[in-house]
Amino acid sequence: WWMSDYDLIPLGLESSKLPNDGRYTVHEYAVPSLVSGSQKEWERIALDITDLGRSMKNKTTLFSDMMALQALPLSSFVHSTNVLGYNEKKGILLFEENYSKIMCETIMMFHGAHLSHEAMKKYKNPKFSRAKVYKEITEKISRECKNL
């Protein structure tokens, strides 16, 4: 099973087979913008996150899915870097004016690109609509990287 955030641009993911033998995998290291895993793994993580949430009930007013994953032991899931995020040095490529062949090849090596709040702050005016930026980037990828 796969799940993505609404602000993830799909890129080079073409596999119908789950990676890592179905182990729960977070594809942007510890940011759940793209995750995959078998049904058994999803159930295991859901229980772990629920238990964590209950333990945080009187300690904080905000406890997101990302905070929960980051609070789990590192061995709880597979950490991957298959999503182009704002922490990824290559993340700036998405916001370049034009894409070269090498840039297209690099971008398409990733499963997706996460247009997070932080990415918008870092690379674009945060007042820009993410939907507008998403549309611009997907159109640019379709136009300039279509022959790869």
100-142: per-residue pLDDT in tens?
A: 888 888 888 888 888 887 777 776 666 677 888 888 888 988 8
pLDDT at position 41: 94
In this prediction, residues 23-30 reach a mean pLDDT of 87
Q: What angle do CA 127, 98, 27 make, to 5 degrees?
A: 65
pLDDT at position 103: 86
pTM over 0.85: no
Please state, in angstroms and rounded to a whole number, the distance separating the CA atoms of residues 23 and 38.
Answer: 7
Quote the strand ranges of the chain, DSSP E. Answer: 2-4, 8-10, 25-28, 31-36, 78-79, 83-84, 112-114
For residue 8, the tally of other CB atoms under 10 A from its CB is: 22
pLDDT digits (tens, 9 = 90+) for 42-93: 999 999 888 888 887 788 777 788 888 888 877 888 888 888 876 666 777 7
